[in-house]
Structures are given as C-alpha cells and as structure tokens.
Amino acid sequence: MAAKKSSVIKERYNKTQMLAEIAENTGLSRKEVNAVMEQLGDIIERHVKKRGCGEFVLPGLLKIVTKKKPAQKARKGVPNPFKPGELMDVAAKPATVQVKVRPLKKLKEFAVS
C-alpha cells in the first residue's frame, strides 16, 4: 500500500478520478475498485430499501437514516402565516420516506483540520 497523501484537493473529483486515485494508492486495479464501490452502493441500497433496517453506517464517516413521514390530510381555514388575518387552504400530502445523511465525528474533524 502506498503512503497516505496529505495534500488538499482543490477541485471535486469525478468518479473516474476517484477510482484512479484509489487504485493507485491501494495497488488494486480500477476494475476491482469499481467492483468494491458498486458493492458498497448495493449494500447501502439493501439497508435503506422499503423493508430494510432503514439505517447504514460507514464507520467513522457517515450514517444514513430513513424516516417515514405519515400522510397529512387537507386542511381548510388555516391562518396564513405570511398575511395575518387571512385564511388559506392547505393541500393534502402523501406519506413519504425521508433519507438523511449525518456526518460522524471523524468526518467532522476532517473539515476542521
């Protein structure tokens, strides 16, 4: 394995650039690195899918959590917060699933240092 590079990256990498750098630093081929990335994506998908556990953690870096938001009924005659004294109708909203990605301690430390 090559030594860890400490230089700052000034522009965002695209997928090809990321695969090339990981392959160079680990000694794996780009195809092998690509296979690992695809498998990671597959594992995340299976965690957050409809009947999955709804939570995925990439240790030290991030946590992906799904939260089910129930449907909201339509309401009539609700006070308008932007125009006091006026009433408005609020449309119904279907049930949805929210996906949140939270940074963990190590990722937060990267941004500070």
How do residues 48-88 score in pLDDT, each as one tens digit? 999 999 999 999 999 999 999 999 999 999 999 999 999 99
Local confidence band at 112 (pLDDT 50, 70, 90 cut-offs): confident
What mean pLDDT do residues 4-33 have?
A: 89
Model pLDDT, residue 4: 58
SS (H, E, C) 20-76: HHHHHHHCCCHHHHHHHHHHHHHHHHHHHCCCCCCEEEECCCEEEEEEEECCECCEE
Q: Residue 16 above 90 pLDDT? A: yes
Which residue's entry shows tokens 């949140």?
A: 100
For residue 105, what are the CA distances in angstroms to 32, 44, 61, 66, 108? 29, 20, 7, 20, 5
Question: Does residue 1 register a pLDDT over 60?
Answer: no
What pLDDT is stored for residue 22 in this prediction?
93
Residues linked to residue 90 through DSSP beta bridges, in sequence order: 75
pLDDT in tens, 20-36: 999 999 999 999 999 99
Determine the residue type at 101: V
- Backbone φ/ψ region at 52: left (φ over 0), alpha (ψ -120 to 50), beta: beta
Is the pLDDT assigned to residue 5 strictly greater than 90?
Answer: no
